[in-house]
Structure 1
Amino acid sequence: LRVPRCSAVCGAAPQPRALRRLTESGLSMVDWHLVKGMKPPRSSRDWEAEFRKYQQFPEFKILNRHMTLAEFKFIWYMEYSHRMWGRGVGLLYVLPAAYFWKKGWLSRPMKGTVLALCGLVCFQGLLGWYMVKSLEEKPESHDIPRVSQYRLAAHLGSALVLYAASLWSGLSLLLSRHELPETRQLLRLRHFAHGTTGLIFLTALSGAFVAGLDAGLVYNSFPKMGDRWIPDDLLSFSPMLKNVFENPTTVQFDHRILVSASVTAITALYLFSRRVVLPRRTKMAVASLLAVAYMQVGLGISTLLLYVPTPLAATHQSGSLALLSVALWLMSELRRVPK
């Protein structure tokens, strides 16, 4: 919900990444080295050298010209912790996978899944590096230095895909499938759940454009945007399609529409599920999805009206991941029993 500050890391860590965006710490480390970058500065001379490098970048020149060394250390360590978290996630994927593979504990389908997940981990790190590189390609005359919202969306999207694939694999292994009768209503409910989960994913992804363009601070009123339902500057960019991805007003408006559509779909899904005979655990998943959805809406509205305070915004961003998680749990509950 604020200007994104991200860097190349190897791993999927949506919540630490959100905190880095909100604290504007993601560009504090101006170098990226896979091994060398793991050591923080030791002496005062090292810190001063690191600070001088940061002072050559637009973020310092435009936003943080009066920053002290102590303040720089805070944002530096925020970014450093994210990079170490990312490397840790990568190791937690690769090392156990290699051990289980060597021991012969993985079935053939599971080997394919493990390879795909490890590939996504590496791809996520590559996208992070590519995203930060976009800052170097923009002139320093911008009012606010920011990475490309397109690359930010790709980076967030890959993290969500990695998380969703990991959670789905875990649920498939840990939860036994219900032997549900394949009725027409159950089939419709299953399709409805799949579509709703896709809508939730798309809504979360639209948040990357809100963050990338600082669109959360454009209109801080609800339910109207200012004194209008449809703001005057909704289509002020030319060509028209450019507004969808580059106009902060349109980006916030689209996010509101997607949120409304998601909550409506979840509510309808809950009401329809009451007409279907379901196991207790599945009913819990549907009810949890409804509860988390309305909690997430409340957090989003509060974040908007209070001008995006960092703790509340971070909680709201966590809520989007929680909502996606519960939707995947429901999908897992409604899986077909293999014949």
Structure 2
Amino acid sequence: MSAAQLPVISPPAVGNWLLLSSVLVIAVVVVGGVTRLTESGLSITEWRPITGVLPPLSRAEWDSEFDKYKATPEFRLLNSRISLEDFQSIYYMEWGHRILGRTVGLAFVLPLGYFAFRRRLARSLRGPLLGMAGLLAAQGALGWYMVRSGLEPENFTTEGAVPRVSQYRLAAHLGAALVLYAGMFAAALAVRADWRFARDGAWSRLADGRTWEEVLRNPLVRRFRVHVAVVSGLVLLTALSGAFVAGLDAGLMYNEFPLMGGRLAPPLNELLSFRYASASPIDGGSGLWRNLFENPTTVQFDHRVLATATYLATALLFASSRGAAMRAVLPPLALRATAAAFAMANVQVILGISTLLYLVPVPLAAAHQAGSVALLTAALHILLALRRPGVAALAWRKANLARKTTTTGDKPKINV
């Protein structure tokens, strides 16, 4: 087959662009976490996607923004004594988060248009990348939907209500960001792996004569992939439960580990309190199940249980990869990625416990949130190390092997 007849295979530049985009998403997630920890997220009371790019530039504009903030429940109930300088500090924190979000959008959409126009995108990438572009656009609207929940006075009419965004909307916003990051990162590594495979047959650093088909057909490898998928799901679920912990300030409830109030679990009537079974001013509804999402004690306990389950699952995954039988069948890249995942799980446990014991300081809490993304990255890396080459990569590899047999032994090149 000629190059014109072969399917389009994305070049390394596409993978590098996707990798950079995924790094920018991580930055947005971490800055968003710091914004929430510093209670800066409700300082900007309007959503202006275009005109909001510039911050206030004059004293009159600052006074106008400050007056808008003074009308919010957060100012009346918590920050009624802050000065204009204090307000500027939290305003810039939220403004920086929004500007970084816009930067991610431009850094993703503009190159996407360029690569699409130049026909550098493999067919298997086109749908997912369009989906990511749509999710990026939706993230802006979802972020404002989340902020609105902390600005509406009717949400804080009950006694003891604290001005904060809805933990449900916060979890949705974070979850969408993690899905977006995972999609970009997975696509980036897939593009780079496919290019290497098409060029010289390299797959997961396999160098012992086995083919990728032999490896992936092995029953032990199939079971291992299922285990990795379970670990990845647990990491994502634990991160989402962390959003509920953050949204309710549940990390300040029991600042000890592994006990909670001198016992492994708080009393049942504290975990399933009828206080949280009544209708919520934020989303309505009732039932004891609401304790799972609205009771700070239950939310912290759930996060501890999920974190422990995630750590144990990752430790078991690592232990199984060290066995002689598994080491003999897994490719080197999968073995290294598994070791990296277990190492990151240990770091994440240390960060989580430290954050709890030291009453959620901003640097530790931000590092803990970044650690969850790093652990998700490691788990995804294992899955991608056990991924079969794409259709385009297989076609190009076959064509290059055929071309190689008709040359004088020179290494064939791919012209895309």
Range of TM-score over shorter length: over 0.9
Note if contact 2:125-2:187 (Cα within 8 Å) is conserved in structure 1: no
Where does residue 321 of structure 2 map in the other structure? 273
| Correspondences of 1:20-59 after superposition (within 5 Å) | 20-59=35-74
Aligned with residue 15 of structure 1, among 11, 30, 34: 30
Q: Would you say 1:64 and 2:79 are equivalent positions?
A: yes
Residue deviations 1:158-207, cap 9 Å, x none?
Answer: 11000000000001011354325221111110111011101111000101
Aligned with residue 263 of structure 1, among 311, 319, 323: 311
The DSSP-based 3-state class of the residue aligned with 2:155 is coil
Where does residue 234 of structure 1 map in the other structure? 271
Where does residue 307 of structure 1 map in the other structure? 359
| Correspondences of 1:206-217 after superposition (within 5 Å) | 206-217=241-252
Cα distance change of structure 1 residues 36 and 337 upon mapping to structure 2, 3 Å threshold: closer
Aligned with residue 167 of structure 2, among 127, 149, 158: 149
The amino acid across from 2:98 in the alignment is R
The amino acid across from 1:166 in the alignment is M
Residue deviations 1:255-285, cap 9 Å, x none?
Answer: 0000010000001001111231233322211
The amino acid across from 2:311 in the alignment is V
Structure 2 gap segments, 5+ residues each: 1-24, 198-202, 205-211, 278-286, 395-416
| Correspondences of 1:83-122 after superposition (within 5 Å) | 83-122=98-137
Residue range with higher mean Cα deviation, 110-119 or 204-213: 110-119
In structure 2, C-alpha distance between the alignment counterparts of 1:51 and 1:71, rounded to whole Å: 10
Q: 1:140 offset after TM fit, Å? A: 4.6
Note if contact 1:199-1:262 (Cα within 8 Å) is conserved in structure 2: yes
In structure 1, C-alpha distance between the alignment counterparts of 2:54 and 2:218, rounded to whole Å: 59
Where does residue 189 of structure 2 map in the other structure? 171
Q: Would you say 1:191 and 2:226 are equivalent positions?
A: yes
Note if contact 1:62-1:143 (Cα within 8 Å) is conserved in structure 2: no
In structure 1, C-alpha distance between the alignment counterparts of 2:288 and 2:148, rounded to whole Å: 27
Residue range with higher mean Cα deviation, 42-51 or 292-301: 42-51
Q: Would you say 1:335 and 2:352 are equivalent positions?
A: no
In structure 2, C-alpha distance between the alignment counterparts of 1:79 and 1:124, rounded to whole Å: 15
What TM-score, normalized by structure 2, do the two folds share? 0.76
The amino acid across from 1:240 in the alignment is L
For the pair shown, the structure with the greater C-alpha radius of gyration is: 2
In structure 2, C-alpha distance between the alignment counterparts of 1:46 and 1:127, rounded to whole Å: 27
Where does residue 9 of structure 2 map in the other structure? none
Compute the RMSD of aligned alpha carbons.
Answer: 1.5
In structure 1, C-alpha distance between the alignment counterparts of 2:365 and 2:128, rounded to whole Å: 34
The DSSP-based 3-state class of the residue aligned with 2:254 is coil
Note if contact 1:18-1:317 (Cα within 8 Å) is conserved in structure 2: yes
Q: 1:235 offset after TM fit, Å? A: 1.1
Count matched residues.
329
Where does residue 3 of structure 1 map in the other structure? none
In structure 1, C-alpha distance between the alignment counterparts of 2:118 and 2:333, rounded to whole Å: 34
Q: 1:40 offset after TM fit, Å? A: 1.1
Aligned with residue 177 of structure 2, among 135, 148, 159: 159
Residue range with higher mean Cα deviation, 253-262 or 93-102: 93-102
Where does residue 8 of structure 1 map in the other structure? none
Note if contact 2:255-2:358 (Cα within 8 Å) is conserved in structure 1: yes
The DSSP-based 3-state class of the residue aligned with 1:145 is coil
Note if contact 1:131-1:147 (Cα within 8 Å) is conserved in structure 2: yes
Where does residue 156 of structure 2 map in the other structure? 139
The amino acid across from 1:314 in the alignment is A
In structure 2, C-alpha distance between the alignment counterparts of 1:79 and 1:59, rounded to whole Å: 15
4+ aligned runs moved over 4 Å, structure 1: none
Q: 1:337 offset after TM fit, Å? A: 4.7
The amino acid across from 1:56 in the alignment is A
In structure 2, C-alpha distance between the alignment counterparts of 1:108 and 1:328, rounded to whole Å: 22
What TM-score, normalized by structure 1, do the two folds share? 0.93
